[in-house]
Amino acid sequence: MLGKKEKSVPQNNSAINVIGEGTVIEGNLRSSGDLRIDGTVHGNVSTTSKCVLGISGKIVGNVNAKSCDLSGRVNGNLLVSELLLLKSSGKVDGDIKTDKIVVENGGEFNGSCTMGNALSDAKSAKDKDGQKATNE
């Protein structure tokens, strides 16, 4: 019609996925969108976006995310490419590899922590090992 402009709605491919309190997932969880976990996941969690673990949330497995806010409990290793925020109620039993970390007073982790350039060095060493193994 004349004089009317079509309104375009921006397309956003990332979805927000919520695992509610009382929900238990047995198996790996993979997403390209943001994750919020208030329930329990027995398996690895992987997202190319942000992972938020609520105060009632628990992950028994490894976590791989772009950024992560932890208020719950993780029994496994974390690989966070940007910022890991361990809140006062958060607890991690496992090794952490991240670019940046913030631990609030009361937050705890038991394991080793690799940060910043050491994380990039570890990734490139792993990639070289992978290429070496495929070339042999």
C-alpha–C-alpha distance, residues 55 and 72, integer Å: 4
Give the pair of three-digit tokens for residue 47: 């997202």
Query: Where residue 15 falls among pLDDT bands split at 50, 70, 90?
Result: confident
CA distance readout (Å), 93 to 60, 62, 69, 72, 96: 10, 10, 15, 11, 9
Give the pair of three-digit tokens for residue 39: 């329930």
Residue range 54-111, pLDDT digits in tens: 999 999 999 999 999 999 999 999 999 999 999 999 999 999 999 999 999 999 999 9
The pLDDT of residue 10: 44
The pLDDT of residue 47: 95
C-alpha–C-alpha distance, residues 47 and 6, integer Å: 34
Structure letter (DSSP) for residue 49: S
Query: Where residue 9 falls among pLDDT bands split at 50, 70, 90?
Result: very low
